[in-house]
């Protein structure tokens, strides 16, 4: 088996690559644990000045592994809540990387994939890629920080459109909205990401770290993150979650019944 997450270091630049193309780089529990180890391993390299995060295949990341979510829900509701809380912690590690992080979206980024990009400082995207939230389509409450970071990045009304429709939006539109910095041809994406990382690396590493600290979000991410998990706990006994995950596994459109009850 190949590793689900790869790390390479070239001079001052580290590249983390999601490497499950057969699942559109879905973030399974094993993949998330290796991703956590990889992010923490960056601390072993004293002179890294920029980090690139990208994916293999035709997608950047399809989000959490919903088949795994369904198994966890059926086994023990608390195990699913714990899994989502763990995923949230790993994504926070990405935002907390002390040097600039470039997200290089080689293809579709949805749900947890979008949440991962929201933790990056700069987002480059391959022409033709699409991004969206997607959680509501399969009745999963966002729990990776999207409800905090997405409105902060693109404003509350545009974030609402992504949350409430679960649609995928073209990256040219998302560039106009401020989520994506540049759209480049797919075959030049990593070339551009490395060039940008090289330009960053030529700057003062002390200033890079200080500016990142100064521009970091000032809200209490721990509190807002807990609110997402608490909302998921309230949601986990409802019929929608079971139907959404079942429909995903059966490759059909979910059929939700009745109205929301909080």
Residue-wise pLDDT for 157-195, tens only, equals 999 999 999 999 999 999 999 999 999 999 999 999 999
Q: Do residues 124 and 181 touch, judged by C-beta distance below 8 A?
A: yes
Q: What is the mean pLDDT of residues 115-127?
A: 97
Write out the H or E segment, with its range, that includes residue 13.
Answer: strand 13-18
Residue-wise pLDDT for 235-260, tens only, equals 777 777 878 778 888 888 888 776 55
Phi, psi dihedral angles at 39 (to 5 degrees): -65, -45
Among candidate residues 127, 134, 112, the one with its CA nearest the CA of residue 170? 127
Q: Structure pTM?
A: 0.87
Alpha-carbon span 14 to 203, nearest angstrom: 16
Residue-wise pLDDT for 159-169, tens only, equals 999 999 999 99
Model confidence band, residue 225 (pLDDT cutoffs 50, 70, 90)? low
Q: Do residues 44 and 14 touch, judged by C-beta distance below 8 A?
A: no
Instruction: Judge whether residue 222 has pLDDT over 90.
Output: no
Fold category of 5-201 in CATH: 2-enoyl-CoA Hydratase; Chain A, domain 1 (3.90.226)
SS3 content of the chain, % helix, strand, coil (to 5): 55, 15, 30
Alpha-carbon span 11 to 14, nearest angstrom: 8
**Maximum C-alpha span of the chain:** 57
Q: Do residues 228 and 46 touch, judged by C-beta distance below 8 A?
A: no
Region class of 57: left (phi > 0), else alpha (psi between -120 and 50), else beta: left
Q: What is the mean pLDDT of residues 58-79?
A: 89
- Confidence at residue 259, expressed as pLDDT on a 0 to 100 scale: 53
Give residues with Cβ within 8 angstroms of 136, minimum separation 6: 163, 164, 165, 166
Model confidence band, residue 220 (pLDDT cutoffs 50, 70, 90)? low
Model confidence band, residue 216 (pLDDT cutoffs 50, 70, 90)? confident
Higher pLDDT, 143 or 19: 19
Alpha-carbon span 214 to 260, nearest angstrom: 40
């Amino acid at each position: 088996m190949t590793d689900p997450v790869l790390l390479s270091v070239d001079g001052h630049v580290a590249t983390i690559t999601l490497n499950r193309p057969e699942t559109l780089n879905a973030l399974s529990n094993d993949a998330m644990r290796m991703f956590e180890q990889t992010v923490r391993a960056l601390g072993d390299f004293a002179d890294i000045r920029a980090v690139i995060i990208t994916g293999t295949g035709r997608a950047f990341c399809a989000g959490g592994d919903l088949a795994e979510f369904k198994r966890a829900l059926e086994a023990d509701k608390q195990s699913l809540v714990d899994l989502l809380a763990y995923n949230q912690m790993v994504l926070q590690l990405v935002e907390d990387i002390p040097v600039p992080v470039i997200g290089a979206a080689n293809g579709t980024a949805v749900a947890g994939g979008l949440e991962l990009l929201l933790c990056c400082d700069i987002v480059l995207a391959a022409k033709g890629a699409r991004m969206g939230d997607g959680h509501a389509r399969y009745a999963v409450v966002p729990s990776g920080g999207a409800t905090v970071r997405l409105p902060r990045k693109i404003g509350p009304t545009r974030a609402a459109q992504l949350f409430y429709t679960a649609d995928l939006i073209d990256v040219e539109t998302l560039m106009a909205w401020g989520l994506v910095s540049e759209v480049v041809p797919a075959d030049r994406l990593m070339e551009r990401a490395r060039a940008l990382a090289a330009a960053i690396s030529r700057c003062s590493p002390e200033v890079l770290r200080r500016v990142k600290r100064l521009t970091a979000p000032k809200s209490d991410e721990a509190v807002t993150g807990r609110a997402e998990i608490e909302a998921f706990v309230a949601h986990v006994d409802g019929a929608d979650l079971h139907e959404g995950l079942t429909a995903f596994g059966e490759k059909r459109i979910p059929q939700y019944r009745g109205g929301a009850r909080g």
